Amino acid sequence: MKKTIIISSIALLLVVGIASAMTLNGTPTEIKELVGQVEIVEPETMFGGQSIISAYPVDLIGTRVGTTTTSVDFNTTRTGGQSASTLYPIKVGHLVNGAIYTVEATLASTTGNNLTMTFLASNDNDCDTASTTTTMADTIIISDINWFDISDHLTNTVHDTAWTNASSTLVWTDPVAETGREATLENLNYECLGLRISGSSTSAWVQIITNQD
């Protein structure tokens, strides 16, 4: 019995040692064949070739580095006025079924300020493009992408029972500087998400975090 245990232990150590060495030079298939029952899943197989963003916040508008927040201004003049809308796309892949947008008004006027947001999604190839102009004939730009209003995916909202030609918008009226809100989307199944935003006399910093079941 003792000999069997000693031999089995040596065999196990030998397999582990060889597997550890092969991780430096061996392929996943070779390692899988060696260890037998251990399933080795390559990243492109695990994620189906999709581009999955991590379960950590990603800066979508502006940046946050350490304790320094750099925001984006949304206004047309010093006295206010609604800015032109800008689309901020991000590729998430079909495995992502939920997303939370966190929106902070870093600066805001005391009156007449707002942020107006529309939540969109697309399944087009290269839908994460942020380019608005092209210098080459085959370059994909934002206007080439088919975007769809996904406001029905917002939690705690009443779903539309009749379609209109205009996209649904979420308006944050008179936000106070250095305050934040969040918008949660659920039951997603898209290649890309897009946030179209405009504003008046407000600077904003926006992040997105996604999740998978």
Q: Which CATH architecture has domain 50-211?
A: Sandwich (2.60)
User: What is the model's pLDDT at position 1?
Assistant: 47
Q: Are 122 and 189 in contact (CB under 8 A)?
A: no
Q: Is this model's pTM higher than 0.85 or not?
A: no
**Higher-scoring residue by pLDDT: 124, 34:** 124
Helix axes 2-25, 28-35, angle to 10 degrees: 170
Over residues 117-127, mean pLDDT = 96
In 3D, which of 124, 112, 131, 181 has the Cα closest to residue 148? 124
Tell me: the pLDDT tens digits for 157-194? 877 778 888 889 999 999 999 999 999 999 999 999 99
Over residues 14-40, mean pLDDT = 44
Q: Is the pLDDT confidence value at 34 over 80?
A: no
Average pLDDT value for the chain: 79
Over residues 26-35, mean pLDDT = 46
Q: Facing residues of 171 across strands?
A: 116
User: What is the model's pLDDT at position 158?
Assistant: 78
Residue 110, both tokens: 């005391």
Q: Coil, strand, or helix at residue 42?
A: coil
User: 78: pLDDT confidence band, cut at 50, 70 and 90?
Assistant: low
Residue 177, both tokens: 């500087």
Q: Is the pLDDT confidence value at 41 over 60?
A: no
